[in-house]
Structure 1
Amino acid sequence: MASTDPFDPVSVHVAARSQRRSWSRLVRLVRSSLALVRVSGRRHFSALVCLQVAAAAALAFQVLAVQSLLSAVLAAEEGATVDAAIGPILLLAGLTATTAVLGVCQSQLQRVLGELVARTMWGRVLRVATGVDLYHFETPAFYDHLERVQTHAVGRPYQVTQGLLAMAGATVASIGLGVALASISPLLLVLVAAGGVPVLLTSRRESRLEFGFSVQQTAVLRERTYLALVQTGRDEAKEVRAFGLGDWLRSRFDDSYERYLGALRRHAARRTVLALVGQLGSAAILAGTLLVLVRLVSQGSIGVAEAGAAVVAMRLLAGQVQSLFRGMQVIFESGLFLDDLDRFLELGRSFVDQSRGVEAPVSFGTIRVDDVRFSYPGSSVEALRGISLELHAGEIVAVVGENGSGKTTLAKLLAGLYRPASGRITWDGSHIDDFRPGSLRERISVTFQDFVRYAFSGAENIAVGRVEEAASDDRVRRAAHVAGADDVLEALPHGYDTLLSRLFSGGVDLSGGQWQRVALARSFFRDAPLMILDEPSAALDPRAEHALFSSLRDVLDGRTALFISHRFSTVRGADRIVVMDAGTVVEEGTHSELMAAGGLYADLYRLQSDTDVGGDAASS
């Protein structure tokens, strides 16, 4: 059965093969690319078109200058004055210099325009990457698609424009050269034009090969990139050295690179053979055309000066005809990548549709989870199996359970980052699917266990909690104080303005516990009615952990909090404790009630208490 996943390589190949070369497809590709280029750099593109036309005209006039020069040389050979050659010489020199200057100007303009187009495309791609459902990031096929878009498709729209400019320039130049050549011999014009047909026929196959190679090698390139990052990343550097992984990782990197190079050699050989066939065909036709020219000269149909000019015109025109067909090849080849890009951007259009909906309420009385089920892509095991629970305004609810019980997955669904496969999550009876996703997330603050350590200043690391609002110094400091991060940040070389990363000059790094306080400050800065804290004290020392949970109720100031913790000593003061096991809620109640029930919570609590006591005794 054919794959229905639009990111699947088989689906991509099928879609590519279904695209046929046609004038309507050519027009569509040109129109969409021109629209993009005009949005990115209208003036630069207009200037390039003018330069292209001027260069093509200068090329055509060179043929006439060559013919005039040859006529003057032949006349001088018969005794005429050489003064007649001065004009053609100056004209040919001037046209040659003009063509060179125009080429330099074109090159620099193309460089700037290429960056302008790339910036526009990066903006669109990054908007999709930061806006699509988190669900997509659980599938390798999505990463492969993203890699292809980043590697190939971002620059392809401009390549289409370059191909179009090449076609336009070649067309103008071909018309001028064709007129000059036709004035000498129309037959020569027809033969030279036919010389581009072999290139046109082989270029289609080359385009298919290039796109197929890109799709096949995407996963290999991602693996190689990952292996390079592991060997150069700061976070991985400690373990790489501690376990002596350097040689082993380099060996895997080399093996991955060698697989790619082997495939590249085969791909390059196939493209070379096709290009050779096309060029040999064109060369054969050109050779036949020159034989025809020699025959015309021998028959006296054209003179020596006209023949010399014809040779120049034929050589230039053959190059322009091939440029015309190469431009078409670039457009069609890039079109395959652009179709791939469109499939990726379609995710963004879906995201725009998801932005519709009513605004989520600024507060709530009850959040209810009813029989919610969820599984990750490619997994046959449900991460959540019929979860049901309630959160009431102002409550502190703790979620505990062993690893893999579904605690973090539940947090992600409550935060609106995933959608349940079935069941409902409601705010005061209103289904969260009816809310505009952005407005729902604005009402929720989440601190994950694997929070991001941004290479920004301390103040910015806190203020990213709500970037849509201006961050005053007082508000940032207040959030830091609540999280216990104020003393840490104030002690840095530049206080809150110190860069928290050694990636850039002047930056410093924090300890794990200090970073966790900054992440908590980020969550408090968001000031949302629902706070979700996933292992908020995992990196804190016992004293800091005790201080955090002792003041948590005062800090929340009436907000609702759901916090996940594997340390049972931190959850005793919660209003309710929810115990999860294998994706289900197995117990719920206060600490005293659950201990009295003697169930899973009581077993895990005693086990952890015994371990802690044993550890303390051993330490003593």
Structure 2
Amino acid sequence: MPIVSLFLITIFEYGASSLLDFATVKLRLNIRGKLRPELIELCSNLDYPCIENDKTLDLISRVKTNPEEWVYKVFNDLISLTVLVMKVGLILGILAYNVWWAVLIIIAILIPFSKLSIISGRVNYEANRQVTKQQRKYLYFGKVLSSRDYVEERVLFQYGNRINEMWLDNYEIARKYQLKVEKKWFIRMKSSGFMTAGFCIIILFLLLAPTLNGVISIGLYVSFIGIIFELIDLLSWDLTNKIDAMTQSKEAVKDLNSFLELERIEGANIKSTAPLKFESLAFRNVKFKYPNGSCNVLQDVTFEMKAGKHYAFVGENGSGKTTIIKLIIGLYRGYEGEILLNGKSLKDYKLADINATFSNVFQDFAKYSMSIRDNIEIGDINAVETMTDEKLHQIVEDINLKEQIEKLDKGLDTQLGKINESGLDISGGQWQKIAIARTMVSSAPVRILDEPTSALDPISESEVYHNFQRISKEYTTIFVTHRLASVKEADEIFVLEGGTIIERGSHKELIDKGEKYCKMYETQKGWYV
């Protein structure tokens, strides 16, 4: 019977271990399958100011690094710690039955020892928080050294060694800081462990006298030796490590909760299927400064736009042109004054309605590694299923890309970028035209071009603006540009300086005034003489 029992226990132990491994893998996959897509979805709905905040970026960087592992670790560490505490409790119970005073000594040591482990876990994870900024830096420099986007300048300027030094400097700062903290607390923890081991060995010496006097049998004393040494191993290493790990996992989950509490905008990733009928847009004494900014970027900006008209914002760099566009499309809402869309405060609209009202392309537009067709169609995501080739061909013809696309074997279905083996890399000017096509394909009643033609030559730029104006006659258009020759056809031009509109009027009216706009225009005119 004992042999059969031993055989059954061995089979059970092996089988239980295999089942536990299987359950662990399944649990991790389930957590990953549910948690990671949800985190990506939450990231896409973050309020825009959050994305531009360094602390938030550090938080996102930590949370996005294997979040499922931290959630799993909390679960796993909790179970392991519970089992370990039960084991220690059982051993202490056996010891207390025979030498109760020894247990009191061990508990007196264990309480501060556990607190020290908790502090160690918190400090070590805080060190991880502190080095996140350095990690973001050296990961960026690593991207510069390895990414194809930088290869031309990397070869031309031969800056590889310099960037590698910058990568190494930031990597070493992060590594040494974390190592310093972990080393400090490791020494403290293990010093306490040696103290615990010393006290336990003293207990064994104290038990020698009653053993020699016959109060405790030699067999029981030998058992005590085994129990004490197992207790030393549990208290000095396993328990402290588990408490430390559990505390770090708990701090990581706090970060996850902080991320979940970040401000999000309902409908940030949605475009209404029924665009508003645009009637007017008005700024009333709008003042604005960026979060954590020290001064206003816009100061008492007032203007009004009407449906079907064409407008332009011009001015020097930093005058506030792009900031106005960001406020119009709802990226920032922390402004003073009023922004009225159809006579109603912009803050009272859902972002999904604002997304459907304005279609814009920025100077730093995105380049998507997918087909030309997909690159253009995402400009009106609600109409992708019904988008016709005829409409797409007309748009690429309007932006002067028809010839180039017709020469390609797969035409509109040609893959762009280098994610796919057959991906085509096109010029910066062609990328800009595709970005403009996204705006033109949209059904939004207001079309915005914010410095979209910087990579185009003057002739191509003039053609793009002329064609854009021609096919946007039924739309309201807003141009933001440095090149004043491109805005001559605008119904009204707003000239900005220092975050304030200093002039307004048609091209002819502003030229006749002979002030800021006229001087800028004459200066640029001289570039081509």
User: Which residue is equivalent to 1:606?
Assistant: 522
User: Which residue is equivalent to 1:147?
Assistant: 61
TM, length-normalised to structure 2: 0.86
Aligned length: 525
Q: Is the aligned partner of 1:338 residue 2:253? A: yes
User: Which residue is equivalent to 2:290?
Assistant: 376
The answer to whether the 8 A contact 1:462-1:521 is kept is yes
User: Which residue is equivalent to 2:475?
Assistant: 559
CA shift for structure 1 position 422:
1.1
Counterpart CA distance in 1 for 2:56 and 2:301 is: 28
CA shift for structure 1 position 196:
5.0
* Residues 1:360 and 1:330: Cα distance change in structure 2 (over 3 Å): farther
The superposition leaves residues 197-243 of structure 1 with CA deviations (integer Å, 9 ceiling, x where unpaired) of 56413202212321331232222222222222222222222223322
The answer to whether the 8 A contact 1:444-1:532 is kept is yes
Q: What root-mean-square deviation, in Å, do the aligned CA atoms of Structure 1 and Structure 2 show?
A: 3.6
The aligned runs of 1:377-416 (5 Å cut-off) are 377-416=291-330
Counterpart CA distance in 1 for 2:486 and 2:267 is: 42
* Residues 1:310 and 1:595: Cα distance change in structure 2 (over 3 Å): same
Secondary structure at 1:351's aligned position in 2? coil
The aligned runs of 1:97-496 (5 Å cut-off) are 98-118=12-32, 120-151=34-65, 155-171=69-85, 196-197=110-111, 199-288=113-202, 290-291=204-205, 323=238, 326-348=241-263, 350-352=264-266, 362-468=276-382, 470-474=384-388, 477=393, 479-496=395-412
The answer to whether the 8 A contact 1:128-1:347 is kept is no
Q: Partner letter of residue 382 of structure 1? A: N
The answer to whether the 8 A contact 2:283-2:304 is kept is yes
The superposition leaves residues 375-407 of structure 1 with CA deviations (integer Å, 9 ceiling, x where unpaired) of 223433422121111111111112222222211
Q: Is the aligned partner of 1:588 residue 2:504? A: yes
CA shift for structure 1 position 258:
2.3
CA shift for structure 1 position 166:
0.9
* Residues 1:499 and 1:97: Cα distance change in structure 2 (over 3 Å): farther
TM, length-normalised to structure 1: 0.74
Secondary structure at 1:404's aligned position in 2? coil
Counterpart CA distance in 2 for 1:153 and 1:168 is: 23
Q: Partner letter of residue 450 of structure 2? A: D
* Residues 1:485 and 1:92: Cα distance change in structure 2 (over 3 Å): farther
Secondary structure at 1:467's aligned position in 2? helix
* Residues 1:554 and 1:611: Cα distance change in structure 2 (over 3 Å): closer
Structure 2 residue corresponding to 1:544, chosen from 432, 438, 460: 460
CA shift for structure 1 position 178:
7.1
The answer to whether the 8 A contact 1:406-1:582 is kept is yes
Secondary structure at 1:471's aligned position in 2? helix
* Residues 1:106 and 1:458: Cα distance change in structure 2 (over 3 Å): farther
Counterpart CA distance in 2 for 1:183 and 1:265 is: 44
CA shift for structure 1 position 367:
0.8
Counterpart CA distance in 2 for 1:361 and 1:453 is: 26
Identify which range, 330-339 or 216-225, moves more after superposition.
330-339
* Residues 1:611 and 1:106: Cα distance change in structure 2 (over 3 Å): same
Q: Partner letter of residue 133 of structure 1? A: D
Counterpart CA distance in 2 for 1:431 and 1:355 is: 21
CA shift for structure 1 position 430:
0.3
Counterpart CA distance in 2 for 1:297 and 1:487 is: 100
CA shift for structure 1 position 97:
5.8
Identical columns (%): 27
The aligned runs of 1:491-502 (5 Å cut-off) are 491-502=407-418
Counterpart CA distance in 2 for 1:216 and 1:404 is: 33
CA shift for structure 1 position 124:
4.5
Identify which range, 228-237 or 282-291, moves more after superposition.
282-291
Structure 2 residue corresponding to 1:506, chosen from 422, 438, 454: 422
Counterpart CA distance in 1 for 2:294 and 2:357 is: 33
The answer to whether the 8 A contact 2:267-2:352 is kept is no
Counterpart CA distance in 2 for 1:105 and 1:458 is: 50
Counterpart CA distance in 2 for 1:587 and 1:299 is: 106
Counterpart CA distance in 2 for 1:92 and 1:300 is: 35
Q: Partner letter of residue 591 of structure 1? A: H
Counterpart CA distance in 2 for 1:553 and 1:361 is: 21
The answer to whether the 8 A contact 1:576-1:589 is kept is yes
Secondary structure at 1:213's aligned position in 2? helix
* Residues 1:601 and 1:105: Cα distance change in structure 2 (over 3 Å): same
The answer to whether the 8 A contact 2:320-2:499 is kept is yes
* Residues 1:490 and 1:297: Cα distance change in structure 2 (over 3 Å): farther
Q: Partner letter of residue 344 of structure 1? A: F
Gaps of 5+ in 2: none
Secondary structure at 2:149's aligned position in 1? helix
Identify which range, 585-594 or 185-194, moves more after superposition.
185-194
The answer to whether the 8 A contact 1:483-1:524 is kept is no
The answer to whether the 8 A contact 1:138-1:376 is kept is no
Counterpart CA distance in 1 for 2:223 and 2:29 is: 40
* Residues 1:329 and 1:252: Cα distance change in structure 2 (over 3 Å): closer
